[in-house]
């Protein structure tokens, strides 16, 4: 089984290489992309089953025993994230092929997208802090390219913001990495989990906060999120969708992983995390309310919902961490979904500004449905998956008697509902108030090209599946949370039995 572990990284990289070499044959590129990502998905599912069976599947890079080599570790958290991101990567690729804009114009799209896929998988799988840095770099380098690929002036300008801030974050990451190595003499996560508790409490806290800041920039925590709503909305639609769905959540994953695995319970900055969570939730949703553009509204919601995940994590209870994991993977699905719909709305209406589109419930009713289901879920309305996720967060907060935060989360959830109704009323009800800046494209009965609508619908169905199988999924995240809160099992799986 452990031979399979590197494949979700290696396969897309191989695909990327083929895609570069045969860049002139567009059909071949598409085939390679779809085949690679489908195979990755299958492998991820196999790994998920295996990880849930045994707890951990570990592969040691180059066969060198940890901590000399690089460990790749599949536990329940990384497995569920891997599967969900594989589904999203595949769906968005199909959507991009259906859209045929950036994907058709640039021969570089496919290889870059596959490197992004590899980077995401590597970030989720790695059990090594330096390799995590490298994985992030792969992911980020690909994202720098993708975000500017449309080549429009606005894209290049906002891409600039994104690139500069990401580079600063990377610099800070490498500094912290060096500091941690200088203090402990290792960079293997499992090894760090054993060595860090030997440090004094202050130094532990210093590292915990430093890593929180590093990944907080990536995840979009307050007050580090500014780059996100400015840069995501301008990218090509499929790129925005996959960024919104995955990249910030990989940051959240890194926060969950490092905080639980590397630091003992009393060295985790729990109170800081909770305060940051509350601010992230509220400031993010305020930002969303102030917008008039579907993609910008949704981008601000990314930030706001990161707050929920961090809130649940900051409780550091089984219920809390389970809720964080559940919320995270569910949010990946919803966010990707909504931005895919936003892309369809933009295509059909010629604009993503609410004042320039309207009445789509009549002209493109299917898009209305594809938007309504994830939007209700995102707003946490029952009985959708988003409600279960939100309820799990509230419930965890109640167990820890964090009533203030539960209240804040409820307030934010109300504002989220408000801004969803705003999109609904603006894009699907009423008439357009201004002429669209772009050219509306007729969508036929479906509201768009078959592949675009089909892949969006597939993601909607995945979201509904979360609702239907909420119980087994929650049970799974609970098991994941138990593992996360007891790092000794991870350590043992990676380093082997210790005397």
Site for other proteins in 165-204 (CB under 8 A): 165, 168-169, 172, 175-176, 179-180, 182-188, 191, 194-195, 198-200, 202-203
Question: Of the candidates 24, 265, 471, 499, which one interacts with other proteins according to CB under 8 A?
Answer: 471
Residues in CB range of 135: below 8 A, 6 or more apart: 119, 122, 123, 126
**478 versus 483: smaller Cβ distance to other proteins:** 478
Determine, following the binding rule CB under 8 A, whether residue 365 of this chain makes contact with other proteins: yes
Minimum distance, C-beta of residue 494 to other proteins, in the bound complex (Å): 13
**45 versus 203: smaller Cβ distance to other proteins:** 203
Compute the distance between CA of residue 78 and CA of residue 250 in angstroms, rounded to an integer: 10
Question: Of the candidates 81, 277, 388, 460, which one interacts with other proteins according to CB under 8 A?
Answer: 388
Compute the distance between CA of residue 413 and CA of residue 74 in angstroms, rounded to an integer: 33
Minimum distance, C-beta of residue 195 to other proteins, in the bound complex (Å): 5
Determine, following the binding rule CB under 8 A, whether residue 406 of this chain makes contact with other proteins: yes
Minimum distance, C-beta of residue 52 to other proteins, in the bound complex (Å): 16
Determine, following the binding rule CB under 8 A, whether residue 374 of this chain makes contact with other proteins: no
By rule CB under 8 A, what count of residues binds other proteins? 133
Compute the distance between CA of residue 238 and CA of residue 157 in angstroms, rounded to an integer: 19
Residue with tokens 């210093």: 206
Whether 487 contacts 331, CB under 8 Å: no
Encoding tokens for residue 357? 């589109």
In degrees and rounded to multiples of 5, residue 249 shows phi and psi of -70, -30
Site for other proteins in 206-225 (CB under 8 A): 206-207, 209-210, 212-214, 217, 223-224
| HSE, side-chain direction, 13 A CA sphere, residue 271 | 2
Compute the distance between CA of residue 455 and CA of residue 87 in angstroms, rounded to an integer: 10
Q: x/- string (CB under 8 A) for other proteins, residues 59-98?
A: --xx-x--xxxx----------------------------
Site for other proteins in 305-344 (CB under 8 A): none
Determine, following the binding rule CB under 8 A, whether residue 403 of this chain makes contact with other proteins: yes
Whether 218 contacts 303, CB under 8 Å: no
Determine, following the binding rule CB under 8 A, whether residue 36 of this chain makes contact with other proteins: no
Minimum distance, C-beta of residue 286 to other proteins, in the bound complex (Å): 4
Site for other proteins in 432-451 (CB under 8 A): 437-438
Determine, following the binding rule CB under 8 A, whether residue 158 of this chain makes contact with other proteins: yes
Binding segment for other proteins (CB under 8 A), chosen from 85-93, 243-251, 389-397, 486-494, is: 389-397
Determine, following the binding rule CB under 8 A, whether residue 25 of this chain makes contact with other proteins: no
Compute the distance between CA of residue 330 and CA of residue 486 in angstroms, rounded to an integer: 24
Question: Of the candidates 49, 54, 383, 488, which one interacts with other proteins according to CB under 8 A?
Answer: 383
Question: Of the candidates 3, 24, 153, 271, which one interacts with other proteins according to CB under 8 A?
Answer: 153
* C-beta contacts of 132-141 below 8 A and 24+ residues apart: 132/254, 133/170, 133/173, 133/174, 133/177, 136/170, 136/173, 136/218, 136/250, 136/254, 137/170, 139/247, 139/250, 140/166, 140/170, 141/115
Minimum distance, C-beta of residue 149 to other proteins, in the bound complex (Å): 6
Q: Is there a cis peptide before residue 223, judged by omega within 30 degrees of 0?
A: yes
Minimum distance, C-beta of residue 314 to other proteins, in the bound complex (Å): 15
C-alpha closest to that of 208 among 183, 230, 239: 183
Site for other proteins in 241-260 (CB under 8 A): none
Minimum distance, C-beta of residue 414 to other proteins, in the bound complex (Å): 5
Whether 419 contacts 285, CB under 8 Å: yes
Whether 251 contacts 218, CB under 8 Å: yes
Compute the distance between CA of residue 109 and CA of residue 111 in angstroms, rounded to an integer: 6
Question: Of the candidates 4, 14, 160, 275, which one interacts with other proteins according to CB under 8 A?
Answer: 160
């Amino acid at each position: 089984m452990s031979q399979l572990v590197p494949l979700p990284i290696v396969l897309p990289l191989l695909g990327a290489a083929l895609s570069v070499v045969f860049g002139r044959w567009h059909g071949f590129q598409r085939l390679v992309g779809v085949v690679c990502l489908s195979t990755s998905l299958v492998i991820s599912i196999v790994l998920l089953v295996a990880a849930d069976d045994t707890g951990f599947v570990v592969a040691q890079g180059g066969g060198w025993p940890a901590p000399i080599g690089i460990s790749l570790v599949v536990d329940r958290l990384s497995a569920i994230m891997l599967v969900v991101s594989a589904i999203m990567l595949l769906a968005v690729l199909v959507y991009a092929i259906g859209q045929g804009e950036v994907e058709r114009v640039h021969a570089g799209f496919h290889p870059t997208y596959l490197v992004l896929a590899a980077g995401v998988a590597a970030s989720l799988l790695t059990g090594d802090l330096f390799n995590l840095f490298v994985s992030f770099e792969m992911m980020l380098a690909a994202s720098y390219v993708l975000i500017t690929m449309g080549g429009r002036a606005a894209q290049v300008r906002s891409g600039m913001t994104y690139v500069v801030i990401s580079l600063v974050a990377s610099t800070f990451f490498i500094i912290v990495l060096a500091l941690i190595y200088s203090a402990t003499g290792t960079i293997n996560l499992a090894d760090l989990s054993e060595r860090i508790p030997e440090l004094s409490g202050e130094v532990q806290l210093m590292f915990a906060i430093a890593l929180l800041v590093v990944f907080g920039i990536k995840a979009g925590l307050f007050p580090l999120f500014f780059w996100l709503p400015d840069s995501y909305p301008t990218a090509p639609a499929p790129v925005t969708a996959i960024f919104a769905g995955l990249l910030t959540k990989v940051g959240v994953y890194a926060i969950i992983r490092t905080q639980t695995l590397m630091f003992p319970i009393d060295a985790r900055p729990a109170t800081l995390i909770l305060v940051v969570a509350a601010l992230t939730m509220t400031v993010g949703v305020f930002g969303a309310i102030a917008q008039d553009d579907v993609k910008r509204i949704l981008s601000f919601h990314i930030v706001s919902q990161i707050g929920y995940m961090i809130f649940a994590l900051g409780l550091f209870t089984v219920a809390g961490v389970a809720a964080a994991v559940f919320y995270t993977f569910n949010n990946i699905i919803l966010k990707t979904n909504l931005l895919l719909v936003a892309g369809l709305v933009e295509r059909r209406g010629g604009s993503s500004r609410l004042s320039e589109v309207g009445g789509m419930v009549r002209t493109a009713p299917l898009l209305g449905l594809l938007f309504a289901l994830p939007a209700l879920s995102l707003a946490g309305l029952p009985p959708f998956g988003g409600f279960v996720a939100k309820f799990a967060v509230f419930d965890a907060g109640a167990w820890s008697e964090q009533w203030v935060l539960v209240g804040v989360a409820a307030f934010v959830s109300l504002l989220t509902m408000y801004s969803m109704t705003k999109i609904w009323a603006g894009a699907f009800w009423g008439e357009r108030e201004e002429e669209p800046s772009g050219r509306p494209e007729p969508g036929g009965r479906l509201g768009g090209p078959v592949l675009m609508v089909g892949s969006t619908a597939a993601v909607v169905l995945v979201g509904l599946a979360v609702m239907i199988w909420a119980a087994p999924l929650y049970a799974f995240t609970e098991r994941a949370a138990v593992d996360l809160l007891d790092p000794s099992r991870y350590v043992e799986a990676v380093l082997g039995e210790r005397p």
